Structure 1
């Protein structure tokens, strides 16, 4: 499921959740709902490309990934993972989740 959020500064973001309810991906803030909606519509074809995932390691040794748009700008970040294998599994889960979303689950 993709959940849309509006913060106190009137910025929008989205969260992609697994069927279990766990968060797979949190977007950056978007200034307008129109920009957010355009990005959400591009998620399905975007996650099929391997080049849009940037794998990173924090200074504390945690692993996470960033999702980039076609222009190469970061649009969302994963939660931290304790292992590289966990991060790779997170990418696979995100791809599968977005690919299997019912149209009613996409705002």
Structure 2
């Protein structure tokens, strides 16, 4: 089972990573001013993970595929790592779909 890890940034804001059961980061959030907002972002990922249309498949300038996960309002709530190929990116999306809905929250802030 996956888990969300909340941590505090050097600037005093909050962000989260969704980690797969093997500990690999599969989605990282933007920064939030408050822990409550960060937790809302986590719940948004949990609630939207099953919908394929929430995953915006992208290609970086260097050609590496990656994806953004968007909330219902279109706002980005998480970004993946850069992948070496589209199969890796699709596996990353599948991992978010599998791990996010039932993931635990580990508050390390």
Partners of 2:78 and 2:101 lie apart in 1 by 17
Aligned-pair Cα RMSD in Å: 1.2
Q: Who is 2:40 aligned against?
A: 38
TM-score by length of 2: 0.89
Question: Any idea what SS the aligned residue of 1:90 has?
Answer: helix
2:6 touches 2:105 (CA, 8 Å); kept in 1? no
Give 4+ residue runs of structure 1 displaced > 6 Å after superposition: none
Q: CA deviation at 1:57?
A: 0.5
> Residues 80, 100 of structure 1: CA spacing in aligned structure 2 closer, same or farther, 3 A cutoff?
same
Which 10-residue stretch deviates more, 33-42 or 14-23?
Answer: 33-42
Structure with the bigger RCO (C-alpha within 8 Å, sep 6+) is: 2
2:46 touches 2:102 (CA, 8 Å); kept in 1? no
Return 5+ residue gaps in structure 1 as ranges.
Answer: none
Q: Who is 1:106 aligned against?
A: 105
2:46 touches 2:101 (CA, 8 Å); kept in 1? yes
Q: CA deviation at 1:90?
A: 0.6
TM-score by length of 1: 0.90
More helix by share: 1
Is 1:14–2:13 an aligned residue pair? no
